[in-house]
Structure 1
């Protein structure tokens, strides 16, 4: 099974726990220090003197390939049996060798920075943090003629498995005729009985398929495994292509590489064609940000224009499926499933699932929504089916199987079990069903088995033979990778993708290649760590299609309505704005503590203003209660992630919110978020001086300003921007109140008022308006009541009123909703106040009112809100 298992219901298999900082990876060094370990030169960028002595293309190519040899008895992608370079590789390396070593190193280092800065990442199974995507420096090359044979075999295999699924969930004739073992089918946990007899909406059980391929000793491609549950890797294949084409555009262009955009367009059109509406709404159903391949899912959702939805975003009502949005319920026509099938519906399938939506199976029965792939398609991933596929292909398609798998025996058949026992010591074993159940999960074979393992295997063969499948062990063929100075052969597996379209199966011209980090050619070694490689299919036509995802202009009507914004996404956008504003407030407080707002007198620790700064940082959880010198406290406030209220803690929280919004945020936004984190978490060098910490604070403030500017200028005013902006406005208004309460009381000192202006980023505006210096009433007015000051409380409340007015109302009775009423009331009180007579008790009341407004926004628009009379009870279904 390709999923993460019943513990979390993830359908995407672990991409291995490799460390992207290992040698040979593009993404080794996001900084500018030089080449990553995987560049062909394998060294720092050369000096001018070294550049002058650099080898020419022929010498460079000879140096790279010196000593390269295929492993005994195995085919290799770089060299033929006689040791000569294969034509495609000779062309590729010849073009690459035209670039000097230092230029290649610079290109690959830039690619590594691009991967790091834009958040191209993955999460190893069981880990909480993401790792940079470990793409290798070389693509896998496949000649066009050879690719045509691969594509034909993959398409045939997809059609065969679709036919098997149609029978197993339909009339069941294959099992009754003895062509499939009924016991294996019925006992497989992926055989979902509630789906038996359900005609799949759109006419297919499977819309997306992948096959893992490897070359056999004879050089022919074989299928190692079928991926039918929810195949992962297509988004990473797309990212691999974008990164490699960006790093080596001359080489990429010279080789006439087949483009992949038309494949994704065909897949998107194929899903759309299964819906009953002319302009269907398509969602990619994810298990959420902690999925191993969430980044890949976000890439695909953004590229294909699908809504990225979780189970909590979905509601089944009256047999139809809807997405909860800030505008109420919106009908969804197609769901591309990326969670395990049995987790789709806790009502009829796995009751422990928190990833699906109750009623989805009933909606499938009613034909109200198409699901690609249908729950239960993971059944044909099971190993017991492999032994029957050649005969099934002849029976169902009337032709031989073009891409065979490994010779396989299901041990539940007595004759096959006897054949296995005769060759016991030379065969590999694996569980018959996916996911594996029972005690036995070994994949050891031959000389790798000890006596205890052998006895265990024989016990299973004796007591529960149907739980096992035996197959001939495979030794993977090799492809070239860099080891730092030259090319070396390493085992690889190629994943190829196919999409169902109205014209039949369409195969991606390329794929997703994983290359082992060790020379061990047994499949069991692949889990220890892998590198990713782009796959270049060399076109037989010198004018390889320059396809894109742009449809003809006459197919899409112009519209200016807000895009779909799920309630969950609005929640994350709101908190993204809030955490960024909180980080900025802590940074400003820290900067004031360090430089005294320009006043040398505040450097004395017993001054009241300094004490108030420290107390506020402590109350906000940015510094420990133990106190300490200003530099020590500043380091805690800026860079101590263990302090829940530090600037770094808020920046990391903002990044977590952004991680759940990858399909909605630009690369520039992600780079700025990454840069903010890196500035704040830079390790202290000894004891940072106050000047160094102040410099860090100022650089961080520049990045928070950049993020605010990106939201202001780059985000569409519909939907997403509104919630980011409201989050910032709520927090900025709260901070204006809190700062006024701390530093704007009657009898405030000059230092107090100077700090208040500095915290409100209003010192320059104040100086331009008032010549005589700081005074209590003018400072209060500018910070709290001035509607023309973009940092004042009044300004924030006015913007909140504007944003709420632009959001859809779910009430039809003309009565304003709670957030609108609260903001309007507060705005009226602020407009009628006077700075000179304003009681601070009133400011404290306003601060509490702002918290109420934030709660009201959450209750009205977000999925966890207390208004779980949620939109669906208030709107006309759309």
Structure 2
């Protein structure tokens, strides 16, 4: 079979042919990022394609598939509120990067630096002297009428007059250059996604990335964390920091349902700071504290990803349940720095563009480096008159964001007659801004086809560029950005409406710089200036918030539960397969365990009644992604808990958790040969594929266990995972033994072997007690043996040891140490007592298992009340 032709080769199939045949022309009036007006490729794209080893469609399709696979493996998501149930959507990343030339970047960098400087100066003026309002350079109605103006912060002065630590500027590329279309100052999102895009795409085109000397992104993030650390307030009389204790910096997120929650977790992990929600923080005596596993810890800096109006329900939106009551007062008292300072929302209004040239001249004495999109705020009579004249060709934009109780602006109702718009604008002119059309440039993207081929297409694109303050009045512009592409066939860019993203490569003629900046002393020595005082070392470990503690605890429990359930499933299916050797006692044990773990619906016939129906029901439940219990539900719950603590996990650890859930779901979907209904025998499946899926999942769960043991620092977070695992382990193993004893399974070889498999102790037992099947030997190994990782007494002893290392609790009550809530080993029944038999039953053994199971449930509740909800549970001396 002949090989597929390359999209780029010498002669008639070279770059010009690609430009002319592979991508359709862009719409008239839009800049083509791929081609010059004469149809030839632009120079950056010639360089890019020349660096690729294989340009055949199947090779590019393989790259695209690898990108999609890495996004899935990394769990990169974008939450879409409009989706039913508030579900997550896999992040959409284009294969081809967006290329920015060195000369273009010089203009962007200068323009964005100026915009950031200007935005901070406007904030300082509006919340200070308000000369812009007094001189008429900015209409008071545009500021005071905007819900983003925070009256409680009038007169507030942040450290170093730095109101903004990060700012994003949205840019449109035309043949005349770059134009500013929006400012993002409240919670500028996209930096984390930009870095994730870079990590993925640079790996696909490593040679091109290196040879084109693409500028790196990490220095901007290093600058951000340095700026935040320097912004921390000095120690105060109430809770001041001792030398060397470090700064407590947190990232405040609205929570997992926020559309960009992935970025919040990504940034917290990358910057090495604690991810929190509003309920994790409390204000006492005008000081912000983090409610941690061990008590309250003072917070110095808050990197905010929570919209302004939700920050403080005491002074802003009273219905906010995700803010921090008293936060603004703590800011005014100088006890905490919030980044960015709330109150910059009016800078995001499209109406601001019309006033920026005059403001730049007044505050900076400069003309704008980058022009703004032409805008007319209808709140001014002259502008309204001009806007009405241009209404038929301009875009109508809301001046202010919608707030609860607002009447619809009419923008949601689709196309309407001009007369209706004129009447609406005349009635409330300040609520509308008109913008001149600004055609977005089109950038190339790769579109695979169903037949294994593909083509180059184009999408309308908008670039978001980020600037980070250095804390001394300067700014560092991240050399790259967050490129968003419109949905095919659309000209409006919106991630909510199905838009995609692309990595942004800023090309350079200079060798790539190292990722780590020079030490401060070395930079000062080069410049011939004395070094600044060194920052205090952050010696304390990353704080464990109460919410994070709960998720760490349950991540351990769910991981252990998944291991046990997989072991149960494998043994059940194996026992069914060899049913000739399986007696009634063992089948009874199998039925009870399946019901206990939710592996079959409650109405499913027992294995003794119909082994075939039981087997089909089990497999059907394993494949049910909507099940409220069982294995699939446990894997999903584990992934959710881990997602909340991603900044605590290594990349491999997190990816394995996702892979365990995703791979098993895919494998079970492929193993089902026909649709079956739980409880009926009409659902055929591939037995080998089901067993293979369980075996593969077992190995993945073993890797997760190894990561929890070897990839986590031995701190409070690790101890919580350990305690969660061992509570789950002890309770489950006790259940296994109790069910085996009560079902009569211990009286047969098949039941005996099943129990040993569930305890993962078969090989050890055979080595220690070859040929024996007596209960005394079994008790010796699975109950008494301290070195057995799944021996009940050994698990209990290790659990007591770790419980003793936990703090007594943060409620301020006198609490009994958790280790004392469990009995010491010398108070537990001996072998002789456990092996006492009455009519073929072992009542002491069953009582021990029942007692241990009850203790684990009580202990879990006590930990939850003591550390997670801080409930005022009365202290106890023992758990009944």
Is 1:710 paired with 2:707? yes
Match of 1:539 among 489, 508, 515: 508
Residue 765 of structure 1 corresponds to: 764
Conserved 8 A contact 2:187-2:305: yes
Please give the secondary structure, in 2, of the residue aligned with 1:657.
helix
1:741-760 correspondence runs (5 A): 741-745=738-742, 748-750=746-748, 751-760=750-759
Taking a change above 3 Å as real, the CA distance of residues 559 and 274 of structure 1, as seen in their structure-2 partners, is: closer
Instruction: Give, in whole Å, the separation in 2 of the partners of 1:774 and 1:783.
Output: 13
After superposition, the Cα gap between the structure-2 partners of 1:526 and 1:734, relative to the gap in structure 1 and judged at 3 Å, is closer
Contact 1:818/1:856, CA 8 A, preserved across alignment: no
Q: Distance in 2 between matches of 1:473 and 1:56?
A: 39
Aligned to 2:526: none
User: What residue is the counterpart of 1:242 in the other structure?
Assistant: 199
CA RMSD of aligned residues (A): 2.9
Is 2:92 the partner of 1:115? Answer: no
Q: Does residue 694 of structure 2 align to residue 697 of structure 1?
A: yes
Give the alignment of 1:598-613 within 5 angstroms. 600-601=579-580, 603=582, 607-613=584-590
- Structure 1 stretches of 5 or more lacking a match? 1-46, 871-878
Match of 1:65 among 19, 22, 45: 19
Is the CA contact 2:272–2:647 (under 8 Å) kept in the aligned structure 1?
Answer: no
User: Given the superposition, is the C-alpha separation of residues 830 and 553 from structure 1 closer, same or farther in structure 2, using an over 3 Å criterion?
Assistant: farther
* Counterpart Cα distance in 1 of 2:359 and 2:873: 51
In the TM superposition, residue 648 of structure 1 has moved relative to its aligned partner by: 0.7
Aligned to 2:210: 253
Query: Is 2:454 aligned against 1:482?
Result: no
Secondary structure of 2:646's counterpart equals coil
Q: What CA distance in whole angstroms lies between the structure 2 residues aligned with 1:489 and 1:690?
A: 46
Q: Secondary structure of the residue that 2:485 maps to in structure 1? A: strand
- Per-residue deviation at 1:582? 1.9
Q: Which residue of 2 aligns with 1:830?
A: 828
Q: Do the aligned partners of residues 464 and 63 (structure 1) sit closer, same or farther apart at CA in structure 2, a change above 3 Å counting?
A: same
> Are residues 590 and 482 of structure 1, via their aligned partners in 2, closer, same or farther at CA, if it must alter by over 3 Å?
closer
Q: 1:230 aligns with which of 187, 192, 197?
A: 187
CA–CA separation in structure 2 for the residues paired with 1:308 and 1:553:
31
Q: What is the aligned counterpart of 1:450 among 411, 416, 423?
A: 416
Query: How far, CA to CA, are the matches of 1:347 and 1:712 in structure 2?
Result: 44
Q: Which residue of 2 aligns with 1:623?
A: 600
1:665 aligns to what?
649
- Equivalent residues in 2 for 1:162-561 (5 A)? 162-216=120-174, 218-276=175-233, 279-435=246-402, 438-441=406-409, 449-451=415-417, 454-484=418-448, 485-503=454-472, 504-521=474-491, 523=492, 528-541=497-510, 543-548=511-516
Shift of 1:326: 1.8
Aligned to 1:39: none
Instruction: Give the deviation of 1:180 after TM superposition.
Output: 1.9
Which residue of structure 2 lines up, in the alignment, with residue 866 of structure 1?
871
Native 8 Å contact 2:173 2:441 kept in 1: yes
Contact 1:587 1:638 in 2 (8 A): no
CA contact (8 A) 1:57 1:94 kept: no
2-structure distance, mates of 1:549, 1:699: 43
Once residues 869 and 235 of structure 1 are traced to their aligned partners in structure 2, the CA distance between those partners, rounded to angstroms, is 44
Query: How far has the Cα of 1:172 moved from its partner?
Result: 2.6
After superposition, the Cα gap between the structure-2 partners of 1:288 and 1:831, relative to the gap in structure 1 and judged at 3 Å, is farther
Distance 1:111 1:421, change over 3 A: closer
SS of residue paired to 2:251? strand
Q: Contact between 1:407 and 1:471, CA under 8 Å: does it hold in 2?
A: yes
Match of 1:146 among 104, 107, 111: 104
Instruction: Name the counterpart of 2:46.
Output: 90
**Deviation at 1:273?**
1.5
Partner secondary structure for residue 180 of structure 2: strand
Cα deviation 1:753-792 (Å, max 9, x = unaligned): 2222121111211111112321123223322232221112
Q: Give the drift of 1:338.
A: 0.2
Q: How far apart, CA to CA, are the structure 1 residues paired with 2:871 and 2:314?
A: 24
Whether the 8 Å CA contact 2:464–2:483 is kept in 1: the answer is yes
CA deviation digits over 1:105-143, x for unaligned, max 9? 444433332221121222223343333321111111111
Tell me the CA shift for residue 586 of structure 1: 2.2
Deviation at 1:152, TM superposition (A): 1.0
* Unmatched segments (≥5 aa) in structure 2: 235-243, 449-453, 523-533, 606-612, 675-683, 837-843, 876-880
Instruction: Give the conservation status (yes or no) of the 8 Å contact 2:576–2:615.
Output: no
SS of the residue corresponding to residue 458 of structure 2 reads strand
* CA 552–709 in structure 1, closer or farther in 2 if over 3 Å, else same: farther
Work out the CA distance in 2 between the residues paired with 1:203 and 1:639.
Answer: 58
Equivalent residue in structure 1 for 2:725, among 722, 725, 728: 728
Tell me the equivalent position of 2:546: 567
* 1:525 CA displacement: 7.5
Whether contact under 8 Å (1:672, 1:703) holds in the other structure is yes
SS of corresponding position for 1:663: helix
Look up the SS of the partner of 1:156 in the other structure: helix
Distance in 2, Cα, partners of 1:533 & 1:821: 56
Contact 2:67–2:93 (8 Å) recurs in 1: no
Deviates more, 1:318-327 or 1:636-645: 636-645
Q: Deviations over 1:65-119 (max 9, x none)?
A: 2334443232222222333322222211222266665544444433332221121
Q: For residues 784 and 814 of structure 1, what CA distance do their matches in structure 2 show?
A: 36
- How many matched pairs? 812
Any conservation in 2 of the 1:430–1:441 contact (CA below 8 Å)?
Answer: no
C-alpha separation in 1, matches of 2:517 and 2:270: 8
DSSP 3-state at the match of 1:528: coil
1:635 aligned residue (598, 602, 619): 619
Distance 1:675 1:260, change over 3 A: closer
SS of match in other structure, 1:191:
coil
1:696-718 CA distance string (max 9 Å, x none): 32222222222111211222212
Q: Is the 8 A contact 1:638 1:680 kept in 2?
A: no
Q: Are residues 436 and 390 of structure 1, via their aligned partners in 2, closer, same or farther at CA, if it must alter by over 3 Å?
A: farther
**Per the alignment, do residues 346 and 464 of structure 1 end up closer, same or farther by CA in structure 2, a change over 3 Å counting?**
same
Supply the distance in 1 between the matched residues of 2:8 and 2:339 (Cα, whole angstroms).
53
In 1, Cα distance between equivalents of 2:59 and 2:97? 18
Q: Give 1:16's aligned residue.
A: none
Give me the whole-angstrom Cα distance separating, in 1, the residues matched to 2:293 and 2:17.
61
In the alignment, does 2:655 pair up with 1:655? no
TM-score normalised to the size of structure 2?
A: 0.87
How far apart, in 2, do the equivalents of 1:550 and 1:810 lie?
43
8 A contact 1:379–1:434 mirrored in 2: no
Hey, what does 2:31 align to over in structure 1?
75
| Separation (CA, whole Å) in 2 of partners of 1:548 and 1:420 | 50
Q: Deviations over 1:283-340 (max 9, x none)?
A: 1111112211111122111212121111122122222222222232222211110010
Contact 2:588 2:743 (8 Å CA) reproduced = no
Change (3 A) 1:507 1:292: same
TM-aligned CA deviation for residue 601 of structure 1 = 3.6
Question: Within 5 Å, which residues of 2 pair with 1:2-21?
Answer: none
Per the alignment, in what secondary structure is the counterpart of residue 648 of structure 2?
A: coil
Contact 2:585 2:743 in 1 (8 A): no
- C-alpha change, 1:868 and 1:490, in structure 2 (3 Å) is farther
Secondary structure of 1:210 counterpart: strand
1:810 is displaced (CA, Å) by 5.3
TM-score (norm 1): 0.87
Output the CA distance in 1 between the equivalents of 2:324 and 2:137. Answer: 36
Deviates more, 1:457-466 or 1:649-658: 457-466
- Kept in 2, the 8 Å contact 1:61–1:97? The answer is no
CA distance in 1, matches of 2:14, 2:574: 56
Mean CA deviation greater in 105-114 or 473-482: 105-114
